[in-house]
Amino acid sequence: MAERRRLLGLGYRMLGSVQDAEDVVQETYARWYALSEAEQEAIVAPLAWLTRVASRICLDQLASARVRRERYTGEWLPEPVRGGATTWTSAGGEEGGGGSDPADRVTLDESVSMGMLVVLDSVTPAERVAFVLHDVFGVPFAEIAETVGRSPAACRQLASSARRRLAERRPVGGTTTEHRRVVSAFLDACGTGDLDALVALLDPSVEARSDGGGRVRAALRPVLGADKVARFLLGLLRKEPGLEVVEDDVNGSPGVAVRIAGATVAVVGLGVRAGRVSDLWLVVNPDKLHAWTDAEPG
């Protein structure tokens, strides 16, 4: 269970998709059980072997994902996961609460925030693998070198490059209390339809990105600027008068779930900087809402 949880968390950070992460874990164990008993016994550190194999599969998938996303309709965003899952730490411990099957829950911490995953999607596959393995999972560069097929020094440079990109582009968040306060005010402004209040909550350079995946209607390009984003959001709400907008944890941070007749139709992650919303990630592709819809009755 501990191994599977670790591999699932690794796969999600690498690929930004729970389904893809589960496929990686399944393929990793298939390769383990394809070994003879003697070959398994010869592996001194099975967890390290599983991590290396899973990482190689992720590296291959990341390369092919770039090609697939060129054909993707509109913006591609990571699959959001719901808060409250068991948290895996680099030391192998557990924090936090609940859930029916901890092995099936993606770990939640800053390294799975929507902001982090969106920026990670902009680095090269090798940079992403090196960064996630070293900075999140504490894998030595000598072992990472075996995974990516480069020298330990080159892997160190890959991780460093990814780290710089993240520092440049990742939204700088405040405290959880501040984040929750901003989300609460955001919900109030959306609920009342107060354009001025909503504009005041948005950073002047705010960016809203929507992922419908061609399954449902969504903005095909980012919406930029406080006034345009505010009008875009209120326009969406007016089109569906029966919408219910509620606070929910999205990838470990306060976010928003949008429901119609009790069914979740959208999940919104919010990046907060200096007390204002700096980024909105609207996921409306139903294929990416299983963390919400699978838990709903009926």
pLDDT tens-place string over residues 34-46: 999 999 999 999 9
Torsion, Cα 255 260 264 269, to 10 degrees, reads -20
Mean pLDDT calculated for residue range 248-255: 91
| pTM assigned to the model | 0.86
Task: Determine the pLDDT at residue 96.
Answer: 36
Percent of the chain residues past pLDDT 90, beyond the cut: 66
Higher pLDDT, 239 or 147: 147
Calculate mean pLDDT across residues 56-67.
89
- The answer to whether the beta carbons of residues 195 and 215 sit under 8 Å apart is no
Single-letter amino acid, residue 157:
Q
The number of residues in the chain equals 298
- For 74, list phi and psi in degrees, rounded to 5: 80, -155
State the residue for tokens 């550190």.
45
What's residue 239's pLDDT? 79
3-class SS letters over 170-222 = CCCCCCHHHHHHHHHHHHHHHHHCCHHHHHHHEEEEEEEEEECCCCCCCCCCC
Residue range 104-133, pLDDT digits in tens? 344 446 778 898 899 999 999 999 999 999
pLDDT digits (tens, 9 = 90+) for 204-248: 999 999 999 988 889 999 999 999 999 999 998 887 778 889 999
Query: In the prediction, which pLDDT does 64 show?
Result: 86
The DSSP annotation for 47-107 comes to HHHHHHHHHHHHHHHHHHHHHHHHTSSS---PPP-BSSPPEE-TTS-EES---S-GGGS--
Is pLDDT of 95 > 60?
Answer: no
Q: Which helix (H) or strand (E) holds 247?
A: strand 243-250
**38: which residues sit within 8 A by CB, 6+ positions away?**
none
pLDDT band at residue 172 under the 50/70/90 scheme: low
The pLDDT assigned to 90 comes to 35
How far is it, in rounded angstroms, from Cα 226 to Cα 197?
Answer: 11
As a whole number of angstroms, the distance between CA 200 and CA 128 comes to: 35
Q: Average model confidence (pLDDT) for the chain?
A: 87
- Domains contained in the chain, CATH given: 2-169 (no CATH), 176-293 (3.10.450.50)
Backbone Cα Rg of the chain: 20
| Per-residue model confidence (pLDDT) at position 93 | 37
The pLDDT of 76-100, averaged and rounded, is 54
Higher pLDDT, 49 or 104: 49
Instruction: Please say if the pLDDT value at position 83 is more than 90.
Output: no
Q: What DSSP designation does 16 have?
A: S
Beta bridge partners of 280: 208, 270
**CB contact at 8 A, 179 and 280:** no
The pLDDT value given to residue 99 = 40
Which comes out higher in pLDDT, residue 134 or 295?
Answer: 134
* DSSP secondary structure code for residue 112 in this structure: G
Pick the more confident residue, 292 or 89: 292
Q: What is the pLDDT of residue 141?
A: 96
Residue 170 confidence (pLDDT) above 80: no
Q: What is the side-by-side strand order in the sheet with 253-260?
A: 223-224, 202-211, 276-283, 263-273, 253-260, 243-250
Q: Tell me what the mean pLDDT of segment 9-20 comes to.
A: 93
d(CA 35, CA 41): 10
Query: Given the structure tokens 């990482």, which residue do they identify?
Result: 55
Phi first, then psi: give them for residue 273, nearest 5 degrees: -140, 125
Give mean pLDDT, residues 83-99: 39
